[in-house]
Amino acid sequence: MRFLTALAMGVAAIATPVAATPATSAATSEDTRFEAFGDRIVDEYVKLDPIYATQLGEHRYDAMMTDVSTAGRAARRTFAERSLAELARFDRQKLSREHQVDAILLKDQLDYLIFSDERLQDWAWDPLTYSGPEGTALFGLMSRDFAPLAERMRSATGRLEGLPAYLRQSREALVPARVPLIHAQTAAKQNAGLNSLIDDIVKQKAALSPAEQARLDKAASAARAAVAEHQQWLDKTLVPSAKGNERIGPALYDEKLRLALNSTLSRQEIRTRAEAELKSLRAKMYAVAAGMIKGDAGAPPAPANPTDAQQQAVIEAGMAKVYADIPPRNDMISFAKGSLNEAITFAKAKNLIAFPSSDFNVIEMPEYARGVAVAYADMPGALEKDQRGYFDVMPIPTDWNREQADSFLREYNKWGIHELAVHEGVPGHLLQLAHSNLYKSKLRAVLASGPMIEGWACYGQDLMADEGFLNRDPRYLLAHYKFQMRMPVNAILDQDFHVGHLTREQAMELMTKQAFQQEREAAGKWVRLQLSSAQLPTYFVGYSEWKDLRAAAEKRPGFNLRKFHDEALSHGSPPVRFIRELTLGEPIR
């Protein structure tokens, strides 16, 4: 299943359940059967995908690698087909409202697994489907103290022993002529990061007995040799032979978009909303920038009704002041830590949302994970004992020249890093996922919605700005609106690239001119655009649904912002449309 993020489950104590029809004995029986079915489905799947099991917090299979051979794929396909047939035998009308949601989501997830195997066939052309999990398999064991070090080291030894077979299976599955060049090149860059993970494991071998240390040394040696062999294949076979098309086309795109978003919004509706949002954000940026440059010598004119050229000039003049406030090249991590702490303090002082946990920290992004995004939230799975959350930040690559580094720092200036800390940290991903991990249902944990998660983080950025974060400093507001502009731009770019014929020049023009992104940020997004599909719209779609939900909730008598947030986040991480139906008492459909 395209189990998106290792999340979690269980109704939070702060939730106020919506009044529902009293359960009959038949309904109770159907719910009991469904709960048992859901638990079994998760147990069966994590056994088929041990790497994901570790992310979820299920550690029975920590010493195993996922079988990505033809037989392994066939086993997961059989699992999906069998589970769909069993799911169809439930009477949804006899299930509780929460279980009705799970039944709908489970069907979509199982449908996606079959779609991915049969129609998308990313196992044959996307090497990143292997390179990401192979690093996570090792890093996930060592980054959290869910068990004594010696136990985790023994599991790591098992995975190192399984790594050569995993790499071989990935080579056997991939068809070089179908692999897009950018995918091949990115995988080749990431592969070397496995060696640093192996080295970090071996450095801690003192926790093991002498016999176990000898086994670890042997496994590590074989793993390093396998990584070197794989690197040779990537460099000499895959990259030169990669001729695939990174554009998946309208048929696959629309099907993937429907399954990935689980939204009522069509592709055209998404585009219409995105274009309107882009126009609105530029108007807001103009108003803030006009005030920032008022009275400055040589400032461009800022009339009440500007032309497109005047609007562009004024916003660029305001952004110049934002870009001037940058952290030192080697100080991004420490500055991000300070930004996260400020966000936590502010959200608590304003009583915006409950804090099930605030054990969050900023760390340097592991090398194996670099090359796709500048930052990400690393929150443990729902079943994990160690619930610490990490905000991973990519350091500036050492091979970048001064011009490239300066471009990057202008984009991720001090105000931009504040925005990043809000999005990835608080009240964004880390805090939302801490709430999600309270919902104690195995099935809901693996039915996480990307648009819900990303949309909440973007909504959280608006929330902090509206409530006065950083005293609504105009530099912060300008950076905030610019950051939010990524959402509609991402949605437009994704459609135009995979369904249309968007060129790099056209994409860079939209990002750097219309959306004021720096060259390094825009260039990175162009790469990401080619490496993914139907993921970039998740931000805007989820954000739009969260804004719509809040607007509907505010019309109800006695609306309270803190209560709204706590209740909305008490259902795990299902699509926002289901949160709306659950919290507002609307029919589940």
Residues 94-144: pLDDT tens digits?
999 999 999 999 999 999 999 999 999 999 999 999 999 999 999 999 988
Whether pLDDT at 12 is above 50: no
Model pLDDT, residue 143: 86
> DSSP character for 428?
S
pLDDT digits (tens, 9 = 90+) for 402-450: 888 888 888 889 999 999 999 999 999 999 999 999 998 889 988 999 9
Cα–Cα distance between 529 and 516 in angstroms, integer?
18
pLDDT digits (tens, 9 = 90+) for 227-258: 999 999 999 999 999 999 999 999 999 999 99
Reported as a pLDDT band with limits 50, 70 and 90, residue 9 is: very low
Whether pLDDT at 16 is above 90: no
- With CA atoms as reference, report the closest residue to 535 among 51, 208, 72, 132: 132
Model pLDDT, residue 345: 97
Amino acid symbol at 365: M
Model pLDDT, residue 19: 31
Model pLDDT, residue 8: 26
Name the pTM for this structure. Answer: 0.88
pLDDT digits (tens, 9 = 90+) for 521-568: 899 999 999 999 999 999 999 999 999 999 999 999 999 999 999 999
Whether pLDDT at 86 is above 80: yes
Please report, to the nearest 10 degrees, the dihedral formed by the alpha carbons of residues 3, 5, 10, 12 taken in order.
-150
423, 343 contact by CB (below 8 A): no
Query: What average pLDDT does the segment 186-213 reach?
Result: 96
Model pLDDT, residue 1: 34
pLDDT digits (tens, 9 = 90+) for 468-517: 999 999 999 999 999 999 999 999 999 999 999 999 999 999 999 999 99
> Which helix or strand (DSSP H or E) is residue 390 part of?
strand 389-393
CA 552 to chain centre: 27
Whether pLDDT at 7 is above 50: no
Model pLDDT, residue 372: 61
Token pair 């002041």: residue: 321
Whether pLDDT at 458 is above 70: yes
Q: Cβ–Cβ contacts within 10 Å for residue 530, how many?
A: 19
Cα–Cα distance between 4 and 260 in angstroms, integer?
9
DSSP string, 461-495: HHHHHHTTGGGG-HHHHHHHHHHHTHHHHHHHHHH
pLDDT digits (tens, 9 = 90+) for 345-354: 999 999 999 9
68, 170 contact by CB (below 8 A): yes
Higher pLDDT, 518 or 48: 48
Whether pLDDT at 23 is above 80: no
Is-cis flag, bond preceding 306, omega within 30?
no
Whether pLDDT at 13 is above 80: no
Cα–Cα distance between 94 and 585 in angstroms, integer?
17
Whether pLDDT at 390 is above 90: no
Q: Cβ–Cβ contacts within 10 Å for residue 400, how many?
A: 14
Percentage of the chain lying above the pLDDT 70 cut: 95
Reported as a pLDDT band with limits 50, 70 and 90, residue 27 is: low
Reported as a pLDDT band with limits 50, 70 and 90, residue 364 is: confident
Whether pLDDT at 190 is above 80: yes
Whether pLDDT at 18 is above 60: no
**Whole-number CA gyration radius for the chain:** 24
Ramachandran angles phi, psi of 362, nearest 5°: -105, 130
- With CA atoms as reference, report the closest residue to 376 among 388, 385, 366: 366
